Chain A
Amino acid sequence: MRPEESLEGWVPAVGVEVPLEEVIDCAFDYRGDVTVVMADGRELTGYVYNREREVPEPYLQMFEPTGVSRTLCYAAIRTVRFTGRDTAAGKSYEAWLRRKTEAERPSPHPA
């Protein structure tokens, strides 16, 4: 799997770079929207909130931004692109500490 911290922007080459099952596992773990490309060429965008690969017909479940929930069989999926912003990426704790430290630093221009 890709070594980068975030998968944002990843367009995996399914079958060559990585199997579809692993890409879908990554999509399930990803805290942003993805675009699912179906075998028939349709593209569906949304948040993958569940996947089940240990059943006879593996499937994923996603919420579209409209609120519609869809269940898609792995067999009908060609690939998944990581198109949405990764909401878990970033260093908010460090950023907050940095802001706090800067705020507490004495001003170079005394009143």
Chain B
Amino acid sequence: MSVPLSQMWTVAAYVLRQKLRRRPRYPLVLMLEPLFRCNLTCAGCGKIQYPAHILKRHLSVEECLRAVDECGAPMVSIPGGEPLMYPDIGRLVKALVGRRKYVYLCTNAILLKQRLEEGVFEPSTYLSFSVHMDGLREDHDEAVCREGVYDEAVAGIREALGRGFRVTTNSTLFEGADPARVRQFFDTMMDLGVEGMMISPGYSYAKAPDQEHFLRRQRAHELFAAVLDRPKRRWRFNQSPLFFQFLMGRLDFECTPWGNPTYNLFGWQRPCYLLQEGYAASFRELMETTKWERYGRRSGNPKCRDCMVHCGYEPTAVDYTFGSWRGFRAALAATVTGRL
């Protein structure tokens, strides 16, 4: 695993504090969406289908920071939309780094080189560009429905690495993914020099145009078992090894929808990053009034039945790691030996 020790320590200390306070539900990563606008229209994305007047809007930096302070999570992920299209992205990131939040700026990297040349960002241990890469050139360009994007993203990654930034990749695997090509993709990303990779099965957004290529649970287990079988030592991942064991079908977890709460133009999204069942006006209202028992696989909710996405299950893996000796030993063993 490739997370810096300081970040690992911050997260571990935070989770242990929550355990000592006996908080049954706590946020781990705030998903902060300052805008829905994007310069791509990927077939698997259900985040950007809005009328033009909604797409033109964005949160102010002050609104974003209020949400960050209200939530208190040690990590902030900035997806969207495309955050590099947010006019105040530099000021927002600087303020988050000033608050010692570990920031994952999730980008398709089309604008990354340009923003870096403009001097919008400064390298920091607290800032990582999490570049959306759904596979090798042909696979990625097909997933994002535009040719040439892979090459632009690679150019952005090289520029960021050359300037001393932390760079990770974020990949969604869909039905039909070829394990051998995914493994080849891991090699390619490692050759590029990224700090680590993140992978997740796609979620079947009701609003996404392409509904044919989302993975069902058993297929997902088979795919990830093949992809992660005897992982190479040189592959580095920015995720919990227990989450991978879950993806491979070796551990059974339940979803933790409150682990990655989402804040956007509409407020605090219920119940999670993927489902939009309504909005709360405050983080406290979200945590206290959302009917959590209606979500997760055991609830029987059909929208949750096949979901294995990292925003719901990675917080479970982290909670399991720090919530039991068994979990801690399993995570430690996987980290030290590299075996899943």
Contact = CB atoms under 8 A, between A and B. Distances in A.
A7 to B, nearest CB: 13
Given A88-B207, A92-B145, A93-B43, A31 B50 contact: yes
A2 B340 CA distance: 48
B238 interface: no
B57 interface: yes
A82 B51 CA distance: 13
B145 A96 contact: yes
Interface in B244-301: 265-267, 278-279
Contacts of A90: 209
Nearest to A28: B278
Contacts of B46: 88
B54 to A, nearest CB: 5
B279 A87 contact: no
Contact of A63 (B54, B209, B278): B54
B245 to A, nearest CB: 32
B53 A63 contact: yes
Nearest to B48: A87
Interface magnitude class on chain A: 20 to 34
B54 A93 contact: no
Contacts of A87: 49-51
A50 B147 CA distance: 36
A65 B142 CA distance: 34
Interface in B39-85: 41, 43-44, 46, 49-51, 53-54, 57
Given A31-B207, A92-B210, 20 more contacts: A29-B206, A32-B51, A33-B51, A47-B50, A47-B51, A49-B54, A49-B265, A49-B266, A50-B278, A51-B278, A63-B53, A63-B57, A67-B53, A67-B57, A90-B209, A92-B43, A93-B44, A93-B210, A96-B145, A100-B147
Interface of B: 41, 43-44, 46, 49-51, 53-54, 57, 142, 145, 147, 206-207, 209-210, 265-267, 278-279
